[in-house]
Structure 1
Amino acid sequence: MFEAPMDSATFRRHLLRLCWVPVLALFLLCLLLGYELDRITMAAQWVDHSDRVIAQMNQVSRAIADRQSVLRAYLLTQQPHYLHAYIRDQAAIRAGFDDLRQLVADNREQIAAVDQWSRDYQAWSDLDPRSVAQDDRSSLLAYLQSQKIAMHQALQDRETMMRRELELRERRTVVLERLDWMSVLAFFILAIGVGALIVWRTTRTFHLVHTGYDQRVNEAKSLYEETLARRQWLDTTLRSIGDAVIACDAEGRIAFMNPVAEQLTGWNEAEARGLDLSAIFRIVNENTQLAVENPVEKVRRQGTIVGLANHTLLIRKDGAQIPIDDSAAPIRNSDSNLIGVVLVFRDITAKKETERALLRAEKLASAGRLSASIAHEINNPLEALMNLLYLTRHMDNLTEVHEYLAQAESQLRRISHIARQSLGFYRDSTVRSTFSMRGVIGQAVEFYAARAAMQGVRMEVAAASDVYVFGSADEIMQVLSNLLANSLDAMPGSGIIRIHLRQTTASPDGRADGVRLYVSDNGNGIHPEQRQQIFDPFFTTKGTTSTGLGLWVTQQLIEKHGGSVAVRSRTQGTWRGTFFRIYLPQTPGTGSDRKPNHAILEPAPDESGPRS
């Protein structure tokens, strides 16, 4: 017959039945045995009570017989001490009757018999032997005859009471014997019944327990085989994937490494197993060479999935450095307790080379786009210089010649300034130092001032106080150039570009002081369906006039400085325009490590910072 699988609760219930059924049956047998023993004990006590009554009656009878003998001795000898003994024994016999009366206090018939016996004895005792005259045979015979009649009546009372007590003892004995064999028979029958019940119930329960045990064993075996198969499958999968995988226990000791992890770290799994992760997974910041917090320690502390900071290098066993990108996630058991951490990382050397190539391409493209503007800026003072030289060549007045030469020198200084400004903006500088944000903003605004004036766009700069940032001033200049160029492209007619700088007490993740830079305009804005793509490389809405790398480069440079960028935009309404919010740390290596380091902000009227 098909039996449904037994769950844990049912299995435990059957086990309890297997243990408690015999115990309960034995408990019932003990109760019955105790009850029967109580009844037998009670019956035996009643038989013993009858024996004590009979013994007391015999004791009183012996006392009366002894007193009667003392009386005969007195009557024959007339000795006073016999009379004294006869009188003395009267009190003992009365006490005997009192004890006998207490013993039969539960039986009215016997109480009446004791009272009758006591009265008849008292009638015999009331015959005073001192009333018999000495040497008077007739009075003696009369006294003896009266005594005999009184004693005969007392003896009859005693025999009647004794017969009743013996009959009562016999009945009680019969009851006791009947209880004895009935108890034995009942106990035997009940023992057989309980034993049969125990055997039946235990056999049935044992069968169920055995069946459940077999099911549990089979389930455990199947689960073991399935777990083993899954483990082998998972082990094969982890060893076959293209990313490096390292698994650690809850203490951060290495338990597993796949071949890619062995290749990237320079350690093989056998020698790394059991070691602390920090011993083989050493990571530093690419720009500062400062140690980066171990992601496994961060997972153990936070209990969530975490990723590495951007620009992170892995130091191999042989000392070589590899740029990597990774994430670490907690491993939890069914009770949500942390039992380990898995670390997945990959070599991004090729990606870094591609990004650097794209950055160089964007710089070249930016230079090409602005070459016309620079040529226009230089052309104006060159034309003025040529005119001044022409006039000077035809002048004879030395004073006027000096005046024209001074004007020509001014135009040459203007040309030199424009050249230095352009070369400084586009040189590939990797020097990192502490620089003034207000100075960088001033240079960027000055660079685009002429173009903004031609378009009728007003640029407003607000900085409560000058702040300093550690990094590359040229790269931050390029960030501002990209944002200002985009704003000017979005405003073919007149408009306003606002640049606001302020110091902040905490970064977006609440870990470091820094500065916030806001760049906003009231241009055409970015359509909602395009906002999620504006930081993707090669995405552009300007057709062939743009490479689509400007904002991607902006994001890369800001992340390189450990900062973050967020954007908010509207294409219509009062708040039309685009708003960029940039955070930069003031000290090296304190930026946020959350990826990606950009966000799309929903338009909100209570957004802090400048409005467009």
Structure 2
Amino acid sequence: MNRRLVESASVHLDLVPVMLTGQRLEPSALADLEMIVIDVDRLEEIRSLISSRGEDLSDGVLPAVILATLPDDPSAQGTDSFDAVLAFPMTPAQISAQLSVILLAHRAFARRYHSALEELHLNRRIFRSVTSGISVASATRPDLPLIYVNPAFEVMTGYRLEEIAGLNCRFLQGEERDQPALTVLREAILAEREVVVILKNFRKDGTFFWNELSLSPIRNRDGELTHFVGIQTDVTARVEFEAALRESEKLAAVGRLASSIAHEINNPLESIVNLVYLAQRSDNLLEARNYLQTADRELQRVKLITSQSLRFYKQSTKPQAINLSDLIDSVLDVYSARLSARGVTIERRERTTQSIVCMESEIRQVLNNLVSNAMDALRGHHGRLLIRTREATEWRSNVKGIAISVSDTGSGIDPSEIQSIYKAFYTTKGLRGTGLGLWISSEIVDRHQGRLLVRSSQRESRSGTTFTLFLPFQALPS
């Protein structure tokens, strides 16, 4: 009687009742059912079937399990194996009402489930279709093991997910375990924050590539770190192109330096030729000696210029302690005569004698570029070139170091151009500029953990530009 009442109520709810008396229910049949009304004798069977389904999302939503029982039946205690209870005896209206509530709740859950499942499948398709490599590492297990990589990662590295699941992604580093970027990466992982680094990695076949890794922490609803997601992009072509640009800028700088040296040496050489000629023609021994002494001073000037030029592009192989005053001398010696010929006054205000540890040739290249730019800005202005040094503190990091300011009283830089001057190939000099000097300089300063700032004015009678270079006392390049 109770079974017929349940059947009648299910028909009233537009359900198709299926009687399973005496039949063993197969796991695959669960996908076709919305509700199962069962007595205590078959409860263990249903429990076993549900367990066998596991967590396979492709099988759909499990049916609602309703236990049919009497009020005093102890099997109705607890709800871990069923979703609701029909405690007989019940009237048809009560049965229909209770099944209706259960069915509505179950269908609402099913809609949310299918919506979440569709979103999950969409995310999986997105992960598999993007061209950048994607890797997911577990942050709750020791050594951050990989738990997922997308097909683009497999193509980029040559490793399949089955080969590397459970491994830390450091296997991509090969023997290159001393890369400076790895220190930045480890610090970001410990601090549980985002980071972008470029690493030298190796594919399964042993070939290397430059990997731009963007790492982001993933947290649960409670704010606890659960995973790290990495996005890998092969930037080998870009890194090689930038390296070629740096070499190009070095060659261009050598050309500019050679032109400056030729100009600086030509004047004293002409003087020497004239003085030697006068000494040869003079019958007065004292007068001839004075000519030769003057010629000797000009030769010493030539010697200073050539020695500074040889020192200028001697490449540093490792960081070393340098005195900034000597470094500034070596740069100004190359340009002092030309600046003097243009009527430019050179002023120096040095408020520190401390040395810094850096790559000497690279910082010299930065200062040379700043002085050269100032000299171009002063073309026809007969103004001032002011170089100042002082001890300073970088306000963002609270790191102590030295600030070097190179100021000119030229025409200034248009405010609309300030944001672009550090971009590659951007120049305000027209055909006279390569657009690489400040780009290379800013890159060198960044690698020394320093900062290069600029301020400029085009106001009448107060125009000019100041570049301020900050370098830590230990400006070790990364």
Whether these two folds match at TM > 0.5 is yes
1:579 is the counterpart of 2:460: no
**1:502 alignment partner, one of 363, 366, 390:** 390
Q: Which residue of 1 aligns with 2:43?
A: none
Deviation string 1:365-420 (CA, Å, 9 cap, x unpaired) is 33444545433322221222112221222234444444333332222222222222
Cα separation, 2, equivalents of 1:2 and 1:455: 99
Distance 1:372 1:322, change over 3 A: same
Check whether the contact 1:290–1:589 (CA below 8 A) recurs between aligned residues. Answer: no
Check whether the contact 1:244–1:344 (CA below 8 A) recurs between aligned residues. Answer: yes
Matches within 5 A, 1:80-229: 200-201=93-94, 203-224=96-117, 226-229=118-121
SS at match of 1:313: strand
Q: Which residue of 1 aligns with 2:56?
A: none
Deviation string 1:194-243 (CA, Å, 9 cap, x unpaired) is x999763453133122232133234424532x1452243023224xx1x3
Q: Which residue of 2 aligns with 1:362?
A: 249
SS at match of 1:293: helix
1:343 is the counterpart of 2:193: no
Cα displacement (A) at 1:335: 5.4
**2:135 alignment partner, one of 246, 258, 267:** 246
Cα displacement (A) at 1:513: 4.2
| Percentage of identical aligned residues | 32
Check whether the contact 1:299–1:306 (CA below 8 A) recurs between aligned residues. Answer: yes
Q: Which residue of 2 aligns with 1:518?
A: 405
Q: Which residue of 1 aligns with 2:53?
A: none
Deviation string 1:82-126 (CA, Å, 9 cap, x unpaired) is xxxxxxxxxxxxxxxxxxxxxxxxxxxxxxxxxxxxxxxxxxxxx
Specify which structure has the higher proportion of helix: 1
Cα displacement (A) at 1:543: 1.3
User: How many matched pairs?
Assistant: 394
CA RMSD, Structure 1 to Structure 2 (Å): 3.7
Specify which structure has the higher proportion of strand: 2
1:385 is the counterpart of 2:278: no
Distance 1:562 1:265, change over 3 A: farther
SS at match of 2:466: strand
Cα separation, 2, equivalents of 1:370 and 1:380: 16
Query: Larger C-alpha radius of gyration, 1 or 2?
Result: 1
TM-score (ref. length: structure 2): 0.70
SS at match of 2:182: coil
**Could you tell me which amino acid in structure 1 is paired with residue 125 of structure 2?**
W
Gaps of 5+ in 2: 1-11, 15-63, 65-70, 73-87
Check whether the contact 1:570–1:577 (CA below 8 A) recurs between aligned residues. Answer: yes
Cα separation, 1, equivalents of 2:184 and 2:169: 8
Q: Which residue of 2 aligns with 1:185?
A: none
TM-score (ref. length: structure 1): 0.56
Check whether the contact 1:496–1:522 (CA below 8 A) recurs between aligned residues. Answer: yes
Deviation string 1:415-442 (CA, Å, 9 cap, x unpaired) is 2222222333245554542222221122
Gaps of 5+ in 1: 4-14, 16-21, 24-194, 592-612
1:236 is the counterpart of 2:128: yes
**Could you tell me which amino acid in structure 1 is paired with residue 248 of structure 2?**
A
Check whether the contact 2:173–2:200 (CA below 8 A) recurs between aligned residues. Answer: no
Q: Which residue of 1 aligns with 2:309?
A: 422
Cα displacement (A) at 1:350: 2.9
SS at match of 1:465: coil
Deviation string 1:439-498 (CA, Å, 9 cap, x unpaired) is 112222232222322333333323322232333212211111111121222223133333
Check whether the contact 1:265–1:316 (CA below 8 A) recurs between aligned residues. Answer: yes
Check whether the contact 1:429–1:474 (CA below 8 A) recurs between aligned residues. Answer: yes
Distance 1:357 1:407, change over 3 A: same
Q: Which residue of 2 aligns with 1:491?
A: 378
Cα separation, 2, equivalents of 1:486 and 1:221: 64
Q: Which residue of 2 aligns with 1:326?
A: 213
**1:403 alignment partner, one of 290, 301, 315:** 290
Cα displacement (A) at 1:322: 4.5
Cα displacement (A) at 1:539: 1.0
Cα separation, 2, equivalents of 1:507 and 1:590: 20
Cα separation, 1, equivalents of 2:476 and 2:153: 26
Distance 1:204 1:263, change over 3 A: closer
Cα separation, 2, equivalents of 1:353 and 1:559: 19
Cα separation, 1, equivalents of 2:387 and 2:223: 49
Cα separation, 1, equivalents of 2:208 and 2:461: 52
**Could you tell me which amino acid in structure 2 is paired with residue 244 of structure 1?**
G
Q: Which residue of 1 aligns with 2:42?
A: none
Check whether the contact 2:128–2:151 (CA below 8 A) recurs between aligned residues. Answer: no
Distance 1:198 1:254, change over 3 A: same
Q: Which residue of 2 aligns with 1:527?
A: 414
Cα separation, 2, equivalents of 1:434 and 1:523: 33
**Could you tell me which amino acid in structure 1 is paired with residue 297 of structure 2?**
S
Q: Which residue of 1 aligns with 2:17?
A: none
Q: Which residue of 2 aligns with 1:82?
A: none
1:273 is the counterpart of 2:162: no
Cα displacement (A) at 1:551: 0.8
Deviation string 1:163-220 (CA, Å, 9 cap, x unpaired) is xxxxxxxxxxxxxxxxxxxxxxxxxxxxxxxx99976345313312223213323442
Cα separation, 2, equivalents of 1:278 and 1:520: 46
Check whether the contact 1:507–1:583 (CA below 8 A) recurs between aligned residues. Answer: no
Cα displacement (A) at 1:589: 4.6
Cα separation, 2, equivalents of 1:525 and 1:344: 42
Cα separation, 1, equivalents of 2:422 and 2:265: 34
Distance 1:263 1:204, change over 3 A: closer
**Could you tell me which amino acid in structure 2 is paired with residue 229 of structure 1?**
H
Cα separation, 2, equivalents of 1:500 and 1:319: 50
Q: Which residue of 2 aligns with 1:255?
A: 147
